[in-house]
Amino acid sequence: MTAETSRVEAFSDGVFAIAITLLILEIKIPGAGSGALAADLLGQWPSYLSFLISFAFIGIMWINHHRLFTHIGRCDDVLLVLNLLLLLGVVVVPFPTAVLAMHLGRPDQRAALILYNSTYIFIAVAFNLLWRYASSGKRHLLAGDVDAASVQRISRQYAFGPVWYLVCLALSWVSAAASLALNFALACFFALPPHLAVSKRR
């Protein structure tokens, strides 16, 4: 982290930390004295599922954001705006997570999944815009020790995101379980370092 990007990373880390903490607020404490605590806890399984998936997603987004800024050595105004665009998607995540938790397994689960998957499409596009702007050679925003092969590996891995999140969105009309399973698989894919992710994809 260079002095020029340190404030960007510090601010972004704070946003990620707040967003990931807000996810737990959707899991409610059952009322006392009902005599059915175990059943009430088990009945909140949609909240647990959406919490775990979204926690993994935000955590992995933070990892990827950190990876990017180990390569980015300088900032300009456009990069700052693109970073804010990405953070906009991150802070929105608790809302579609809460909606999905409330409606999973119920008549409106398709609309909830569409909202949820659309949020991640936005984030995937924002990641691509941020990285492709930063890695454009004519802007000289990357650190001096970044090699072309590393840039290409990250670009290939990120290009994978919007397409497959669109598939998740399409699966909202077919199967909620399949849509969520693919979401989780994508989280695992983006958790991999770029050189491993690209080799596995090949």
Q: In this model, does residue 202 exceed pLDDT 70?
A: no
Locate 77 and state its tokens.
């105004």
What local confidence, expressed as pLDDT, does residue 195 receive? 57
What local confidence, expressed as pLDDT, does residue 41 receive? 85
Domain map of the chain by residue range?
3-201
Q: In this model, does residue 1 exceed pLDDT 60?
A: no
pLDDT in tens, 108-134: 999 999 999 999 999 999 999 999 998
Pairwise CA distance, residues 11 & 150, whole Å: 26
**Beta carbons of 77 and 4 less than 8 angstroms apart:** no
- In the chain, helix, strand, coil percent, each to 5? 80, 0, 20
Q: In this model, does residue 90 exceed pLDDT 80?
A: yes
pLDDT in tens, 129-149: 999 998 886 667 887 667 778
Locate 105 and state its tokens.
């397994």
Residue with tokens 């909830």: 112
For residue 86, how many other CB atoms are within 10 A of its CB? Answer: 23
Q: Is the dihedral of CA 13, 19, 22, 23 positive or negative?
A: negative
pLDDT in tens, 49-73: 878 888 888 999 999 999 899 888 8
